[in-house]
Structure 1
Amino acid sequence: MRCPHCRQENPAGAKFCSGCGARLDLVCPSCSHPNRVGSRFCNACGHRLSAEEEAAAPLGAPDRPAEPAMATASAMPKPAPAVPEAERRQLTVMFCDLVGSTELSSTVDPEELRDVVRAYQTATAAAIGRFDGHVAQYLGDGVLAYFGYPHAHEDDATRAVRAALEIVDAVARLSAQLERDRGIQLAVRVAVHTGPVVVGDVGAGARHEQLALGETPNIAARLQSLAEPNTVAISAVTRRLVQEIVTCRDLGPQTIKGVSTPVHVYEVLGANPSWAGVDTVSRGGLTPLVGREQEVALLLERWEQVEEGQGQVVVLSGEPGIGRSRLLQIIKDRVADRPHVLLEGRCSPYFEHTPLYPVIDLLQRVADWRWDHSNEEKLERLERVLQERGLPLAETVPLIAGLLSLPLPDRYAPPTLSPERQRQKTLEAVLALCLAMATDRPLFLSFENVHWSDPSSLEFVSLLVDQAPAVRLFAVLTARSEFHPPWRPRSHLTHLMLNRLTRRQTERMASLVAGDRALPPSLLERVTSMTDGVPLFVEELTKSIIEASLERTEASADVVTGPATPAIPVTLQDALMARLDRLGPVKEVAQLAATVGRAVPYEILRAVSPLDETRLQQALGRLVEAELLYQRGLPPQAIYIFKHALIQETAYQSLLKRTRQQYHRRIAEVLTDQFGQIVETQPELLGYHCTEGGLGAQAVVYWRQAGQRALERSANLEATSHFTAALQALKTLPETGESTQHELFIQIGLGHALTATHGYAAAGVERAYGRARELCQRFDERLPAPVLFGLWFFYHVRAVFDQALPLAEQLLSLARRDDDRLLEIHAHWALGGDLFHLGELQQAQAHLDEGNALYGALSHPPDLSRFPQDPGVTCRGYCRPLWLLGYPDQAVERGVEAIALARRLAHPFSLAFALNWMATVHQFRGEAAAAQERAETLIELASEQGFVIWVAFGRVLRGWALVQQGRRDEGMRELRDGMEAWRATGAEVDRPYFLSLLAEASAAGGDLDEGLAMLAEALDLAHRYRDVYWEPEIHRLKGQFLLQRSGEATAEAEACYRQAMDVARHQAARSLELRAAMSLARLWTARGEREQARSLLAEVYAKFTEGFETPDLVKARSLLDEVFASHRGRSGRDAPSS
């Protein structure tokens, strides 16, 4: 008899495998239940078990003419339990087929062929049943089997592959028998593939079957044809799920008929003998250890107590995937260099009903048995271990050898005890061995997954718990949260329940899994919200996102991309579905609740459920008891919350699309009819259910309402999502006047939201407002003001002033025609902004002043839903022109007023606008600390709100401030990153200004050539875009850098300073004229032209009426004093006045 686990041949009648110690159960061919060897009837279904006689009898032997060996009518597998409706799920499909059956049919009598085929089918069904698979169809000599339906397991792929290997072995044994008896040889090909299916009833009349439909079964059938005889072929998807338990040979991508893309195929070479069915959710290696510092410290403290002679027992428990195995391994690693003996035992779901399986596994490890050892070698090793520990061989060997199914030599007398007494004495013998091993050095004994322990093994553990305090024993048991230890509390017994990770820990773990690839904030948030702090979920979802991203982009991409809602990883689907399948009929309530949402109000569920209140509460109680739901409050005010987002998603995804739509439609109807307050306050909820329920017209209305409400709350990301959903719903409707009107206002709202989240010049902003303009032109309607304003902003920030300025003028005309004061204020700000960049500073300030006056005359607060920002904040906050015109104090005063107004309005985007220009004015004034403070406040606000354009501008200003305060390298990086982020939003305006700041920073570090190159680029951009407000300063800096590079370049420098003066005077930019005058005065003074220098500087200085304490004016006064003092003989007459 060959062991199905390690494939070791064992003598007939053996109870346990001599290679790996696994129990050699007799599988019932009727119900697939494992029975003890020697049983005559199945203890589960009562079917007659005469396997040994049948196996020994030749097929069709005269004494059993009507009953071929291993094949009776009753031996066919039972049909799967009825499932009320089809559902979607991940399924592992096996297809196996006899090789050469056509040739066989031409050489074998049909009656004999029937016996052969039925024997093959029975052997196949037994292997499938042993691993809880379901035979879906017998297709001639082919067998189609499902693993994961009607009940999923956490390791369905593993079960399928192990069953496939067992089928190959079973057919080989059957072939040997047939060849011996009849000269017939059999071979089989087996294939396994995992993928999504819809599974349920098909057929008509008496021909009803439960079949899986979709590509997955077809791929499995096609893979089978690629396998060599007596081998197992698996797909790459299945291999990923079983890679730890089998070894494979890569067959490469294979083209399969009917499948659009090649399928990567592997041949299974065999099972991994060291794999023992450990907790399947640990698949894929140990997860990074995050957030377990306290637990590690506690376990190490317990270890120290053991070293001091105080034995300890620790039970590590928690839900699947919480990290029990990872924590246990960390402790093993931490104590690895300390003297101790390590023993490891583990329980397995495959041997849950095999007495003392983990104890047998542990003993084999202690004796260091290998599969290729003979019985004599195994006995010798066992004797050596027992002798080393001082245990009497005569008494102990017969007991332990019997447990290990090891034949006793004649020198040992077999036990003569009753079965129960022998079992007890055997447990005591194993316990004595363990205690003896803890005599010289501490014994670290780990038992994993004791929730799968059989009663006898649990009894053995109980004995250990009792004896632990007397020896240096550190026993660590791991179990799932549903395991309840049978031991009463003791001082040496610690029960440690592992909690989920916090949000911060989850984010850190996801980043560790991602490695060098950066997860964008949106995907990091999805990982956090979907995984609920379960480490395995975090790891597998992050890996799944990265793999999907690499399929879409270059393999070297260092930024991960992905959908807003990542798919459930294939590695988790079986485990999640298994939890749902264990619920039985209650699963339907879970599916309905999942359709309602993550948090499910009882009143809504009661209204949509077909169950009466009593049955519904019973079902919900079962879901709470199963820890799939949390309950908050009592019905009817109760709210039920899915414990895991992935459980909710799995329950939802298992529904047929048709059923989902019916559920959503019913929920939408109930909400509309019975829950008016929800309709009013959460229209997005109605929009979602109407969309998924196929109610497109209603969905558009609710999504539009939701988007508008979000705009009013400055929830711009949510608004973007809602308006986008509204547009998607619109696509399902015919184009009518009403739908066009809806789209117009949706596009306006979307443009508004995108302006805040992506910046004024983002491509999406142009698409939204451009589409709105197209809709108006199509129906000969004039453009609404928000469309004009949105388009103006787009072209303004793109620095396309030829298109922006006419739109601003059109806005003003429209406002005056319609007597729309709010629009008129926005129009003045728009004109002021354009004229500022074009160098028309006085006209720009006049428009801003007029807008500010109109705002002050408003009798009520403005409607902030029409435009991205408050017009009063913009007209006051846009204080740059005041500084350039020579009013540095007024610029600050206006900026402070704008910030205060934005705070009163509680409008984040307006506040970001005001903070940005306030920080800019501080930069203009040369106040590095104040600029940094405002910039950092801006960055914090804008980052929190998702205002990417203001984050970018803020970083530029912060970078300049850092350079000025001596942190040049850090500041340069911040400047460059901010400029790059600014352009990433589509913005081109202000780039000449940014480049001049970066040029100054480069020159400050001695790189004058780089600074001059940047100034050349800045000047080119200023002229190309007509963005010239900073042109005087660019000319001045150029002259300064030329003179610093070469003291002989006075002529070139003077020309630059004069050009700066001319442009500044043309623009009326007094502050920049003053800077140019100071530079020219210094140059003339150095040449001895002091009177000319004094006269020029005094003339410009005299134009100022405020700001005398600002750095520029302080420097100017100091320079005047210096020039005056050096101009001897004229000190009294020519003293400057303030």
Structure 2
Amino acid sequence: MLRADWRTGYDARVATESSSSTAPAAAVGQRRLLTLLFVDLSGSTAMAEWMEAEHYATMLASLRELYELIVPHHGGVIARIQGDGMLAVFGHPEVREDDGRRATDAALELHAAVRSLVPPGPKPADFRGLTLHSGIHAGVVLVNDGDQMRGRFELLGNAPNIAARLSETAKADEIIASEDSLGLQRQFFETGPRLSLQLRGRATPLAAYRVIGRAAIGRRFDASVRRGLAPFVGRGDQLAALDAALARTLAGRTQWLGLRAGAGVGKTRLTEEFLRHVAHESGQACRIHRGYCESYLSAEPLQPFLQMLRALEGMADPPAELFAALQSPPAQRADALLALLLALARRSPQLVCIDDLQWADDASLRLLHRLRSAAERERLPLLLLTASRPQPSLPGANDGDADIIELPPLNEFEAARAVHHLLPQIDPFIATEVQRHAGGNPLFIEELCHAAAETGEGLVEGQSSSAWLAALVESRVGRLPPAQAQLVRLAAVIGNVIPVWLLEALSGCGEHHPDVRALASQDFIFPDQSPGHLRFKHGITRDVVYEATGLHQRQALHRRISAELTQRGAGEGRLHEQLAYHGAAANDWPAAADHAEAAGDQALAASALDRAKKQFRAALAALEFLPDDATRRRRWVNIAQRLGMACVFDASQDDLRVLKHAAALAQADGDAGLIARTEYWLAYVGYALGETRDSLAHAHAAVDKAQQCGDHALLAQLPGTVGQLQAAAANYAEALPMLDLAIDRQRQRASKSPANQIGLSYSLCCRAYVLGDQGRFGQAHAIFAEALAPFDGSGHAVEASIQGWRAAVLLWQGRWAEARTAALVAHRVGAQVRSMFTCAMGHAAAAYGAWMEEADPAARQHILDATAWLAPRGGGLYSSFNHGWLADILSTQGDAGAARHHVAQALRRGRQHDWIGGAMAYRAAARLAARMGDADRARRYLALARGAGEQRNSAHEAAVTALLEAELRLDDGWRAALERASAEFERMGMAGFLQRARSL
């Protein structure tokens, strides 16, 4: 789920970029994604004191010669040399996916070269030589032409400052590179542990590494192995095609298969899996030769074939052609390599595998084609396997003669498996967001999961990826023909989903235009499931392209899009979401606020609560840019109250902070009605977060203010709220009268509006679970049936809550199978309406039902997962349930340490008036004590369990505690306890527990 502070609208960029400038883009330079290397001479101030001016000037000249020699060698451009310091940029004029690696290699070479410099003139005894200290960071920068004062370029943005701060932080002869600049390419280097640096002028810590030296790896796949590979999922059809080709080769055929897919889709991983299979299955029947191409500085002519040749040195029983190839001069090397591979193929089947063929040199390509032709003429058993990216500018290049196997992104199921493997306890909504954003690209999935694991949170809106991954995307865009590049930037401004009519209105290019089709074939945009729409294949791609588009160009496009949308949907009210987004992006704050508020109201009416929350937050953010007056503040409070209505089924501490701010505004306004309703929503959202004590105080304040101003509608709602809060605090004696009063009033008004019916159903649900906790199961189930009747499986959010509580009551009654069914409905509906609370609690309840019914060993992990999903939201409503269930399972399994932890967590919730799992936690503690042979402590915990049940007047808890007393047999009274328990189980219809009692 996307995180956002209430002050953040749709996009973190909106609030920070200029809100008034209308200058043309040319006047403010170009927006570029750059990697910046900032280097400085260590101890230069002290050296200037003891060196003669002429000597110091000579040293600076030598230093600058090194800068001017080494930086361009690695593909960088010197932006500015000032004194002994230098700022270089990588990615201008063309972004390359390995700019971070190039900058780091340049820094390493510079440091080594400076260490070897000997400054002229006499030196102090303690002088230890010249050293640099360097910082590397990447980010979006505004690039202007420079001058004599500003250097070759003027670079505007935060990224150059951060690179300078990293250089300041580095000690003598140290290089510090941000994680953003390196990403996966960090594995090409030996680095120190991950640092979290609080840099001057930066609000949040920055992840970075000290770079020590180069690592002995050459391929990105090797870098992935070093970090830890993502799971290999799917690809069954492609593996089958490769296996079939291998079988034909073993039968004597010559073939060339080309794997083709975009960056990160998994060509190399599939190749590795296939080659592992070949080595395992074929044994010595097929010899494997491997090589790869690269665009980096270490590339050499015939690189992949020379790698194969070097791997053959020391081969047992070598052919004469091997010695000839090893000794051949460069001019004859291709002929010698061809002769060698043909000689080997005459002996036995051969598999020649070349990765990243898109970067192959001409000599390697010629040799590859010659090898295939010669092998086909002689009918030799040779399988050529190459992996390459699509090359739009060279339609028949490189692998044009191969039989192509297109490698698609992972499908939804495969992507879900990969995410679950990398983030086993991740919130399912975050997992879904990762899948959507990654678009089935395994590299993107891995990177987003890596980021989520580091932060413990979801994707941050406006922060699509790290800079190194953004460079990978931008380098692809940079290779497009200009018309296609412009089209993809326009599409990115429209959004992740692109109405075809809108794209055509703005660009003249419809769905079947050659440029649009070309973008589909190159994995940028493709037809959406909804007719008349296109969609970006990967959300990351869209975000990166949008971020790299200049501000003024973007804003102008947003204004044009708003005009087209307004004309298209004028008066129909069906385009509020799009108009709100484009209005905010164009800094048209009045329009953004109006449309976002309207979109939120529409989503709320349709029970699309997550969308309603997003739109109301966007409206609040837009209001922050409007003049501050009483009207704006009252509107802010009114929207915040509707946000409260939208978040009661999935509340977070962020939501509570918004309502607290609204309460402060209402108090300052002094309107009793405004204050009463804000206090009401504070009470309700606090209740949804399990903050029962504070919520009761807010509810009582709402009652006082509502009585003061005569708000009879609110006074009619408040008994239900107070009753629900008292029920949550297990104050059943006070809860039931309030719930009965609320139900009577709500029944009278239920037919007048859907909102009244929803309130009635939830009040009935609360009354039902209170009766169930007291052992009055028959009455409870009748009331649950009445509460559910209006929904009839429609998938409303309140249906998930009711089914969740019904599952809990069925668990109390020992009707395990029925409880699991109800819990799974709660989980499914909660997922549909994006209510994490009902989704997670349904998941946990179903797992506990599976444990009680069949001792499912996976139950423990499922409940742990559900508990972890809820933790980031800061809520604790009824979380003692989860901890009680876990304590019961773990104590039964004998995992004493983990069980004690959850006993303590359940009892800690008791201090927050959440006692629903308290008796179960005490029973788990009694079981642990008995297992340790400590009968006195076990009896004490049983007494505490009885007390916790009595506090709730819970007949079923008393009976289950008596059953445990009988099971533990701590004294001679166990038979009487068993009889009491059995009689109560039979009276209350607690079938599962009665069966357990009879088994004793």
TM-score normalised by structure 1 residue count:
0.65
Distance (Å, rounded) in 1 between the aligned partners of 2:847 and 2:221:
54
Corresponding letter in the other structure for 1:504: F
Structure 1 residue 500: deviation in Å? 0.7
Show CA shifts across 1:467-501 (max 9, x none). Answer: 445223232111112376679999xx642221111
SS of equivalent residue, structure 2 residue 347: coil
State which of 642, 652, 671 in structure 2 corresponds to 1:781.
671
Distance (Å, rounded) in 1 between the aligned partners of 2:206 and 2:863:
48
Distance (Å, rounded) in 1 between the aligned partners of 2:207 and 2:786:
66
Show CA shifts across 1:959-986 (max 9, x none). Answer: 7755764649888998999899799534
Equivalent in the alignment of 1:1111 = 989
Q: Is the counterpart of residue 348 in structure 1 residue 348 in structure 2?
A: no
Q: Is the counterpart of residue 594 in structure 1 residue 594 in structure 2?
A: no
Structure 1 residue 650: deviation in Å? 1.4
SS of equivalent residue, structure 2 residue 232: coil
- 5 Å matches for 1:2-401? 85-93=29-37, 106=54, 128-137=71-80, 144-161=87-104, 193-203=136-146, 209-214=152-157, 216-217=159-160, 233=175, 235=177, 237=179, 243=186, 245=188, 275=218, 287-337=230-280, 338-339=283-284, 340-350=286-296, 356-367=302-313, 388-391=318-321
Distance (Å, rounded) in 1 between the aligned partners of 2:683 and 2:736:
21
Distance (Å, rounded) in 2 between the aligned partners of 1:979 and 1:944:
19
Corresponding letter in the other structure for 2:409: R
Corresponding letter in the other structure for 2:547: Q
Tell whether the 8 Å contact from 2:221 to 2:269 is kept in structure 1 after alignment: no
Higher percent of residues as helix = 2
Taking every aligned residue pair, what percent have the same amino acid on both sides? 21
Distance (Å, rounded) in 2 between the aligned partners of 1:164 and 1:468:
46
Corresponding letter in the other structure for 1:938: A
Structure 1 residue 703: deviation in Å? 2.2
Distance (Å, rounded) in 1 between the aligned partners of 2:866 and 2:167:
57
Equivalent in the alignment of 2:124 = none
- 5 Å matches for 1:855-874? 855=749, 858=751, 860=752, 862-864=753-755, 869-872=758-761, 874=763
Q: Is the counterpart of residue 581 in structure 1 residue 478 in structure 2?
A: yes
Distance (Å, rounded) in 2 between the aligned partners of 1:241 and 1:1115:
54
Q: Is the counterpart of residue 649 in structure 1 residue 575 in structure 2?
A: no
- 5 Å matches for 1:670-1069? 670-676=564-570, 680-758=573-651, 774-783=664-673, 787=678, 790=681, 793=684, 800=693, 824=716, 827=719, 837-839=731-733, 843=737, 847=741, 850-851=744-745, 853-855=747-749, 858=751, 860=752, 862-864=753-755, 869-872=758-761, 874-875=763-764, 878-879=767-768, 891-903=780-792, 906=794, 908-919=796-807, 922=810, 927-950=815-838, 954=842, 965=853, 967=855, 984-987=875-878, 991-992=914-915, 994-996=917-919, 1016-1017=943-944, 1028-1030=952-954
Distance (Å, rounded) in 1 between the aligned partners of 2:68 and 2:85:
12
Tell whether the 8 Å contact from 1:191 to 1:232 is kept in structure 2 after alignment: yes
Tell whether the 8 Å contact from 2:923 to 2:945 is kept in structure 1 after alignment: no
Structure 1 residue 152: deviation in Å? 0.8
Show CA shifts across 1:349-407 (max 9, x none). Answer: 25899754544454454457xxxxxxxxxxxxxxx99x9424599xx67xx856426xx
- Distance of aligned partners of 1:920 and 1:520 in 2 relative to their CA distance in 1, 3 Å threshold: closer
TM-score normalised by structure 2 residue count:
0.73
Corresponding letter in the other structure for 2:415: T
Distance (Å, rounded) in 2 between the aligned partners of 1:122 and 1:728:
52
Corresponding letter in the other structure for 1:783: G
Q: Is the counterpart of residue 451 in structure 1 residue 451 in structure 2?
A: no
Equivalent in the alignment of 1:521 = 428
SS of equivalent residue, structure 1 residue 93: strand
Structure 1 residue 297: deviation in Å? 3.7
Tell whether the 8 Å contact from 2:108 to 2:213 is kept in structure 1 after alignment: no
Equivalent in the alignment of 1:437 = 344
Distance (Å, rounded) in 1 between the aligned partners of 2:295 and 2:716:
75
State which of 580, 584, 604 in structure 1 corresponds to 2:502.
604
Show CA shifts across 1:748-805 (max 9, x none). Answer: 22222221113xxx65665565555554444343436865654565687755597588
Equivalent in the alignment of 1:1072 = none
Q: Is the counterpart of residue 478 in structure 1 residue 367 in structure 2?
A: no
Equivalent in the alignment of 1:568 = 465
Structure 1 residue 126: deviation in Å? 6.2
Show CA shifts across 1:276-315 (max 9, x none). Answer: 8999999967554222333334323433443343344321
Equivalent in the alignment of 2:7 = none
Structure 1 residue 618: deviation in Å? 8.2
Tell whether the 8 Å contact from 1:226 to 1:233 is kept in structure 2 after alignment: no
State which of 313, 326, 330 in structure 2 corresponds to 1:404.
330
Q: Is the counterpart of residue 630 in structure 1 residue 526 in structure 2?
A: yes
Q: Is the counterpart of residue 498 in structure 1 residue 428 in structure 2?
A: no
Corresponding letter in the other structure for 1:529: R
- Distance of aligned partners of 1:745 and 1:227 in 2 relative to their CA distance in 1, 3 Å threshold: closer
- Distance of aligned partners of 1:345 and 1:923 in 2 relative to their CA distance in 1, 3 Å threshold: closer
Tell whether the 8 Å contact from 1:992 to 1:1018 is kept in structure 2 after alignment: no
SS of equivalent residue, structure 1 residue 296: helix
Q: Judge which range, 826-835 or 314-323, deviates more.
A: 826-835
Distance (Å, rounded) in 2 between the aligned partners of 1:825 and 1:669:
43
Show CA shifts across 1:6-36 (max 9, x none). Answer: xxxxxxxxxxxxxxxxxxxxxxxxxxxxxxx
Structure 1 unaligned spans of 5+: 1-81, 177-185, 369-383, 406-422, 550-558, 1058-1074, 1083-1107, 1117-1138
Structure 1 residue 653: deviation in Å? 1.6
User: Which is greater in Rg?
Assistant: 1
Corresponding letter in the other structure for 2:535: I
Distance (Å, rounded) in 2 between the aligned partners of 1:257 and 1:818:
52
Tell whether the 8 Å contact from 1:282 to 1:321 is kept in structure 2 after alignment: no
Show CA shifts across 1:893-927 (max 9, x none). Answer: 443233221227x3622323443454456567664
- 5 Å matches for 1:1082-1121? 1111=989
Structure 1 residue 87: deviation in Å? 0.8
Show CA shifts across 1:104-130 (max 9, x none). Answer: 97379x9xx89x96x997886565555
- Distance of aligned partners of 1:780 and 1:642 in 2 relative to their CA distance in 1, 3 Å threshold: same
Tell whether the 8 Å contact from 1:748 to 1:768 is kept in structure 2 after alignment: no
Distance (Å, rounded) in 1 between the aligned partners of 2:837 and 2:251:
62
Distance (Å, rounded) in 2 between the aligned partners of 1:639 and 1:986:
42
- Distance of aligned partners of 1:901 and 1:484 in 2 relative to their CA distance in 1, 3 Å threshold: same
Tell whether the 8 Å contact from 1:91 to 1:149 is kept in structure 2 after alignment: no
Structure 1 residue 846: deviation in Å? 5.5
Distance (Å, rounded) in 1 between the aligned partners of 2:418 and 2:991:
54
Structure 1 residue 434: deviation in Å? 0.7
SS of equivalent residue, structure 1 residue 476: strand
Tell whether the 8 Å contact from 2:644 to 2:685 is kept in structure 1 after alignment: no
Corresponding letter in the other structure for 1:404: P
Distance (Å, rounded) in 2 between the aligned partners of 1:994 and 1:167:
63
Structure 1 residue 148: deviation in Å? 0.4
- Distance of aligned partners of 1:986 and 1:401 in 2 relative to their CA distance in 1, 3 Å threshold: same
- Distance of aligned partners of 1:841 and 1:86 in 2 relative to their CA distance in 1, 3 Å threshold: closer
